[in-house]
Structure 1
Amino acid sequence: MIRVRKRPTREPTIALINIVFLMLVFFMVAGTLAQPMDGDLSLVRTEDLEGRAPPDALVVHDDGRLSYRGEDIDSVASFFDRLDEANRTEVRLVPDRDLSAETLVAVAAELRGSGAERVFVVTERGLE
């Protein structure tokens, strides 16, 4: 009697890798992540605009100094005294770029402690 040798079964991992790779290439070619902008559209240039804080915002300078509407103020409490009742629940905070994170968090916590329900940090946003 002759024994029949069993062939070792190989897993088809190469075929699976090829299928996944082909699917990847297909979706890269067929799909887009975002709709392209219209070709004749030209965006507004903002590089020459003067950056200004919103008029109702508390500005925190890099040395921790506070100002409101162009005038230096002593504390968050004096800022709250100048606000009318409608603007006390939502407060805008404009930090300097070089302000430390600890100071920013401390001022925001003091605003929340004074009665602000929401504190918005105003930042610069650009499109490149």
Structure 2
Amino acid sequence: MRPRRRKSRLEPTIALINIVFLMLIFFMAAGTLAPPLDRDLQLVSTAELDGAPPPDALVIHPDGRMSYRGEDQVSVAGFMDALTEEERTVLRVVPDRALPAQDLVEITGNLHREGAGRVVAVTERGLP
């Protein structure tokens, strides 16, 4: 008489992997979908827009030089002295793309030490 072979029970790991994968895809799609815009909405075209910085922003050039309202070679202390208390609450800074991040951090730190409340960097935003 032959010994009876035991049937090994296979675990349904493939089915479990498929379910987890489908759940992953579902949550990725659900998290990235945005409500659709109205069909009648016409977005503003910025193709012809001049890329000039706002007039009340501190412009920081790639070499660390700063300008404000057309005046070149502005210092942090001189810039802060020209502002009112209300204007010091939120400052806008337009850094050049080639400005090293270390220099930007140093300049914003100096602005905070001179009494700036919040420093906001004005950047270019690319739409997907």
Q: Normalised by the shorter chain, which TM-score bucket?
A: 0.7 to 0.9
In 2: Cα distance, 1:73 partner to 1:19 partner: 62
Structure 1 segments (4+ residues) deviating >6 Å: 24-32
TM-score by length of 2: 0.79
1:21 Cα shift? 5.1
Unaligned runs of 5+ in 1: none
Partner of 2:61: 61
In 2: Cα distance, 1:75 partner to 1:32 partner: 44
Letter in 2 for 1:112: H
Partner of 1:45: 45
Partner of 1:122: 122
1:3 Cα shift? 5.2
Aligned residues of 1:55 and 1:69 also touching (Cα < 8 A)? yes
1:13-62: CA deviation from partner (whole Å, max 9, x where unpaired) = 12323444566677889997122334454322212111122222111111
Residues 1:94 and 1:19: Cα distance change in structure 2 (over 3 Å): closer
Aligned residues of 1:73 and 1:79 also touching (Cα < 8 A)? no
Partner of 2:10: 10
Unaligned runs of 5+ in 2: none
RMSD: 2.9
Most deviating of 114-123 and 3-12: 3-12
Aligned residues of 2:68 and 2:74 also touching (Cα < 8 A)? no
Aligned residues of 2:91 and 2:119 also touching (Cα < 8 A)? yes
Number of residue pairs the alignment of both structures matches? 128
Aligned residues of 2:57 and 2:92 also touching (Cα < 8 A)? yes
